[in-house]
Structure 1
Amino acid sequence: MAAKPEKKRKRAPGPKSEGAKSNPKKPKVFGSNIPNKVSKKPFKSPGKEHLQHAGKPKVQKGDVDDKKLRRLQAKELTEARKKKRKKHYTLEQELALLWEKMRVRDIKKEDRSKHVSEALKKMKGKIPEIASSHVSSRVLQTCVKHCTQDERNAVFTELRPHFIALISNTYAVHLVTKMLDNASKKQLAEFISSLHGHVASLLRQMVGSLVIEHAYNLGSATQKQALLMELYSPELQLFKDLVTMKETRLVDVISKLQLQKSSVLRHMTSVLQPILEKGILDHSIVHRALMEYLTVADESSAADVIQHLSGSGLVRVIHTKDGSRLGVLCVKHGNAKERKKIIKGIKGHIDKIAHDRFGSMVLVCILSVVDDTKLISKIIIKELRGNLKELILDQNGRRPFLQLLHPNCPQYFSPDDLTSMSLSIPSIRNKAESDTNSKGGEAVEEDRSGEGETSDTSIHLNEGSKKDSFTRRQELLVNSGLAEKLIDACCEMAGELLRSKFGKEIVYEVATGGADGILHPTLDEKLATFHEAIVSLAMQPKLDDAEEEHILEHFHSSRTIRKLVLNCPAFASTLWEKALKGKCATWVKGHSSKVVSAFLETSNSMIKELAKEELQPLVDSGHLRLPVAGDSIKND
């Protein structure tokens, strides 16, 4: 019987997923003639040369000349397209070559003038179009910088009809500002006159506002007022003759021209609101306009401005005089939530603000008004302590410390600074006064529920605060540890501070314990150590060949020590016992004589008795002269 052929063994089926068919068919793929196996070689798309020269024979590897020819043809084609697309393409190429020559640093002045004149001749008649070009505008800027005055006047004349269009151009704006820097008084007046009717619209643009601000800073007081007046009323935009008036305050302008206050308020709101929403807050003309707006704004409108400015945006405002005053008003009239946003918004910028002439006054206001001393200590005091030694030597940086040590002292703050601190918004002040009268003399208190959150229906805006001034100062200065650090820094830098024009005032306030004795009695031991540090400098012998003047003979330090002798008995007794007793004859000439004579001028009888026995013979012999009362005040 023949053997049966062996059947092929079937492979065991693999595990099936639920719902899978036993013999699933492969899905049809578009282009089914493509082989299943993928080639290992990467697919290369056809290049531009292949598409451009389709149907032509393939270039061999050795055919280099043909490749160069194609590149040249492609370059010529690109050049031809640029010439069609750009009107002054050839001129731009020529100007670029001249620019490379004229901007070299070591070029001779005659050669540069030659290249500049050649470039200006080529640009004549096309300057407004070139000024808007990304490439050629830089060439024109260099030419304006180095050309003669006659050539600059010719450029100004050609640009004059196109100023408004150029101001809004991203590239031309730099040329316009450079033209203003080199403009004569007549040209500047012409430029500012050409802006009439466009100031408000240009201030709403990021680019245009830069030129308005530049012109505002360069202009005279009359020209500045002309730019501002357009923001006040539509009538002042339309009629140019109304702008030329001497009144500077908006209230006076409204009274003089008999304008409707509601119309002015409505127009200024429409101008300033987009500026605030876009965050165009860096310009001094905007700060001035906002300050004038707050003088006529009602309570609700003023609250909207304060709300917009409260936060990180205030850092960009407080670097100008009017901006600083805006910051002070926001702090004084803001509610608890807005004050918190202001303090958190300036976090990380405290050192820079403290060094600024105007910004430092906003810090002074915060330290004088805000009741949340824990938040201030956590943010402001912490950053001030980090750079303490540098700040106490700086004219502006020392102000926050002086305000805590001796608030609102006319000796340390100018009348203008004190005026800024006393400003208030009329509508909010009047509202607060009416509320006070209606409540029988009780002040309107700040709503602190929910961490200062206020409802939309009621606006809690207060000038000042609830907390007692001395209590606030003690919490910020003593309880925060700032005073201890301040005394340590003064001990370490006693000589440098006493000889410094600005640091000497910190020394005096710290050594006397501050106004109202705020550092006593908590830090009496520290203060005694500080007195010893000053006296140890005074104990050093007087040397003719010393590198720096003795502490008793230096102009600033001698006057500070004299004031301490007059007003700080504890220091005066230490100085006498350890440094001057038995040595007064050495110090009766020069600036040091003022220190010695102070022991006889002091109102403290005990100190006077200590020195009288030794000093009286020097006075009788004429070696020591006591100053007249008028001289004494002048020297102090």
Structure 2
Amino acid sequence: MAYTETAVKRKEGPEVHTEQPKKSKIESRKEQKNTRLERKAHDRSFDMITEAKKVWEQLRRGDIKREEQKQLMEKMMSIIQGRVQDVIFKHDASRIIQTCLKKGNGEQRNQITEELKGKYETLAKSMYGKFIVLKALEYCHWQRDSILSEFRTHVRKMIRHKEASAVIEGFYAQFSTAAQRNELLAEFYGPEMTLFNHGGASKSLEALLETMPEKKEPVLKYMYDVLKGCLDKGTLVHSIVHKPLLQFLTLADAKSRDELMSLLRDNLQDMVHTREGARVAMLCLSYSTPKDKKTIIKAFKPFLSKIAQDEYGYLVLLRLVDVTDDTVLVSKAVVDELCKHAKELFADKFGRRFFLYILTGRNTRYLSSETVQQLIAGDEISTSKKDLKVKASELLNACSPSLIKMVKNDAAVLMREKLSSQVVQEIMLHAVGDKSEAIDAILELAGENIEKENHVMEHRFANRIIKAMVKADSSETENDKAVEPLEFAPKLLEVIRPNLTHFATNFGSFVVLALAEEPSTAKEVKNVLKKSKKDIKQAADDKNVGAEKLLALL
């Protein structure tokens, strides 16, 4: 019977489906919105969050008056008090709590943080909750020890967690005291050290090992395991990892150190932005083989400009120059890449130091004494076989043509910028090779119409370069003497002779004074200026120091 019915149905043909009319986009969105609201309405906190959001929309504005803010905070607290934990993991409600911690008074902040107790570790692992913890750390300093107590023994796992690592890093880098930092770092040293380092007894690793030298080997083994896990999880950018890395590389034996460095080499660019991270990178470069250095340079290449402009990163590039025997590789892969961003780097406080290092070496005019000592200390552990002076000479020879060409092409801009002008001066004094075209470019600027605004002869930065070039051949100090004769003074005098008196009585007086003191031009300059002695005296009376000194020479 069943078979017969089926056969009949087949004869009747397929079942006909009537098509539903297609909804418009507006109708579809409206339906989706209603569905979302229905779903949210099942949440027991829905009404409370809805009411709180209305107040929050006004509270978060930056243009409300203090009294209005106070009233809104009181209204908000009456809504959320006692129910903070119900909403902290929701995206929209999380922002409400953050604003309350930012805008509330001490008592209100305390009420919120008290309700959050016991939830800080879980919050730190939440995509939205982590921002509440960071706000609590920022605005409720009296709660930091309490928050730290909830993190205790969990830091090792949290630093490897995508969300929680940002909280641990923020606590360590921005909000912690020295004792709190030591307590956070102790989690890298092992459970026993964590217990020993609890509370007011917090000590550095060096102090801990001084009191318990027998623990050095197990501590280093534990550190290796933790740090290796951090590298696997991509948390190398965090400064809290850099300190134990530096401690490990300093204290470990050669075998353990090499094992960890082999894992670091491809990622050193992620850590050069901190003091300890830069020192770790410098140690890795010092101990590495020529093959390893090529790997590091390859990893650095896309980030060279950024590293050069970093407060600590540029030191890593100086160490790279010192320890790499293959100066051709450094010239092509590092210097040529940085030369592409020369204008930007020359004008940067730190970026310019790489070029100045190539030109002047360990000169305390541009590097602090501490930095020079740090570089000298690194020489003692370097695996480099080539003499430092030979490398410096080879690199200078390789890079000078590019640097000189920059001056030739962009002298007008570079000479007038404060920091860039210092680099231009050192290029003209200490670069090697044919500088005739660069000199011609500077002379062309010096010969421009004196009515031109910011004329290089009278510009406060540009005329320092010109003055230094005038005196470069006869200077007695190594820093100010040109490595190769420039013969610039006679050429400059020939160009500016028609306007010599003008410059002598205005802002170019110190350049003219340098020409009057330079043996190759002194006699001619004095003869010309004697005819304008009256004008020079007037300028001297008007407190022009250069004119005063010129007058004394005439």
TM normalised by structure 2 equals 0.79
Say which SS state the counterpart of residue 351 (structure 2) adopts: coil
Alignment match, 2:479: none
Say which SS state the counterpart of residue 549 (structure 2) adopts: coil
User: Which residue of the other structure, out of 500, 506, 530, is the alignment partner of 2:423?
Assistant: 506
Spell out, residue by residue over 1:405-457, the C-alpha distance to the aligned partner (whole angstroms, 9 max, x if none).
Answer: 2222222222343344345499xx4xxxxxxxxxxxxxxxxxxxxxxxxxxxx
Deviation of 1:607 (Å): 5.5
Does residue 293 (structure 1) correspond to residue 198 (structure 2)? The answer is no
Of 262-271 and 94-103, more deviation after overlay is shown by: 94-103
Alignment match, 1:127: 84
Deviation of 1:267 (Å): 2.9
Alignment match, 2:508: 592
Say which SS state the counterpart of residue 122 (structure 2) adopts: helix
Q: Distance in 2 between matches of 1:285 and 1:76?
A: 42
Contact 1:226 1:243 in 2 (8 A): no
* Distance 1:106-1:626 versus aligned 2 partners, 3 A rule: closer
Contact 1:532 1:574 in 2 (8 A): no
For structure 2, the 5+ residue unaligned runs are 1-5, 22-30, 474-484, 541-546
For structure 1, the 5+ residue unaligned runs are 1-30, 48-60, 62-70, 430-462, 629-636
Q: Distance in 2 between matches of 1:616 and 1:197?
A: 83
Q: Distance in 1 between matches of 2:260 and 2:314?
A: 22
Does residue 554 (structure 1) correspond to residue 469 (structure 2)? The answer is no
> What is the letter of the counterpart of residue 499 of structure 1?
R
Matches within 5 A, 1:316-331: 316-331=270-285
* Distance 1:395-1:583 versus aligned 2 partners, 3 A rule: same
User: Which residue of the other structure, out of 322, 340, 346, is the alignment partner of 1:392?
Assistant: 346
Alignment match, 1:148: 105
Q: What is the number of residues matched between the two proteins?
A: 515
Contact 2:289 2:383 in 1 (8 A): no
> What is the letter of the counterpart of residue 77 of structure 2?
L
Contact 1:325 1:420 in 2 (8 A): no
Alignment match, 1:251: 206
Deviation of 1:485 (Å): 3.7
Spell out, residue by residue over 1:311-363, the C-alpha distance to the aligned partner (whole angstroms, 9 max, x if none).
Answer: 1x222211112212222222221223322222222232222222222222223
> What is the letter of the counterpart of residue 595 of structure 1?
V
Q: Distance in 2 between matches of 1:141 and 1:425?
A: 50
Say which SS state the counterpart of residue 555 (structure 1) adopts: coil
Alignment match, 2:477: none
Q: Distance in 2 between matches of 1:133 and 1:259?
A: 49
* Distance 1:589-1:173 versus aligned 2 partners, 3 A rule: same
Contact 1:295 1:425 in 2 (8 A): no
Q: Distance in 1 between matches of 2:200 and 2:58?
A: 47
Contact 2:160 2:229 in 1 (8 A): yes
User: Which residue of the other structure, out of 437, 458, 468, is the alignment partner of 1:529?
Assistant: 437
Say which SS state the counterpart of residue 309 (structure 1) adopts: helix
Does residue 171 (structure 1) correspond to residue 133 (structure 2)? The answer is no
Contact 2:172 2:240 in 1 (8 A): yes
Q: Distance in 1 between matches of 2:404 and 2:161?
A: 50
Alignment match, 1:362: 316
Alignment match, 1:567: 472
Matches within 5 A, 1:305-384: 305-311=260-266, 313-384=267-338
Deviation of 1:287 (Å): 1.0
* Distance 1:377-1:75 versus aligned 2 partners, 3 A rule: closer
Contact 2:272 2:312 in 1 (8 A): yes
* Distance 1:106-1:584 versus aligned 2 partners, 3 A rule: closer
Point out the structure with the larger helix share: 2
Contact 1:558 1:592 in 2 (8 A): yes
Q: Distance in 1 between matches of 2:13 and 2:312?
A: 73
Alignment match, 1:278: 233
> What is the letter of the counterpart of residue 502 of structure 1?
L
* Distance 1:105-1:509 versus aligned 2 partners, 3 A rule: closer
Contact 2:265 2:295 in 1 (8 A): yes
Q: Distance in 2 between matches of 1:204 and 1:243?
A: 27
Q: Distance in 2 between matches of 1:421 and 1:259?
A: 33
* Distance 1:43-1:498 versus aligned 2 partners, 3 A rule: same
Q: Distance in 2 between matches of 1:323 and 1:477?
A: 28
Alignment match, 1:453: none
User: Which residue of the other structure, out of 451, 465, 485, is the alignment partner of 2:384?
Assistant: 465
Deviation of 1:298 (Å): 1.0
Alignment match, 2:45: 88
Of 186-195 and 394-403, more deviation after overlay is shown by: 186-195
Deviation of 1:238 (Å): 0.7
Spell out, residue by residue over 1:596-617, the C-alpha distance to the aligned partner (whole angstroms, 9 max, x if none).
Answer: 3334656xx5465665666799
Contact 1:137 1:175 in 2 (8 A): yes
- For the aligned residue pairs, the C-alpha RMSD in angstroms reads 4.1
Does residue 205 (structure 1) correspond to residue 122 (structure 2)? The answer is no
Spell out, residue by residue over 1:91-149, the C-alpha distance to the aligned partner (whole angstroms, 9 max, x if none).
Answer: 33443454455456777776665444333322212223422234421221233233334
Deviation of 1:533 (Å): 2.1
* Distance 1:275-1:467 versus aligned 2 partners, 3 A rule: same
Q: Distance in 1 between matches of 2:109 and 2:551?
A: 62
> What is the letter of the counterpart of residue 330 of structure 1?
C
Contact 2:281 2:316 in 1 (8 A): yes
* Distance 1:552-1:78 versus aligned 2 partners, 3 A rule: closer
Contact 1:331 1:365 in 2 (8 A): yes
Contact 1:588 1:624 in 2 (8 A): no
Q: Distance in 2 between matches of 1:222 and 1:124?
A: 33
Contact 1:166 1:172 in 2 (8 A): yes
Spell out, residue by residue over 1:174-215, the C-alpha distance to the aligned partner (whole angstroms, 9 max, x if none).
Answer: 11112222234x344554465444433432322222112111
Spell out, residue by residue over 1:16-37, the C-alpha distance to the aligned partner (whole angstroms, 9 max, x if none).
Answer: xxxxxxxxxxxxxxx8887499
TM normalised by structure 1 equals 0.69
> What is the letter of the counterpart of residue 92 of structure 1?
I
Contact 1:328 1:420 in 2 (8 A): no
Q: Distance in 2 between matches of 1:528 and 1:334?
A: 41
> What is the letter of the counterpart of residue 549 of structure 2?
R
* Distance 1:89-1:583 versus aligned 2 partners, 3 A rule: closer
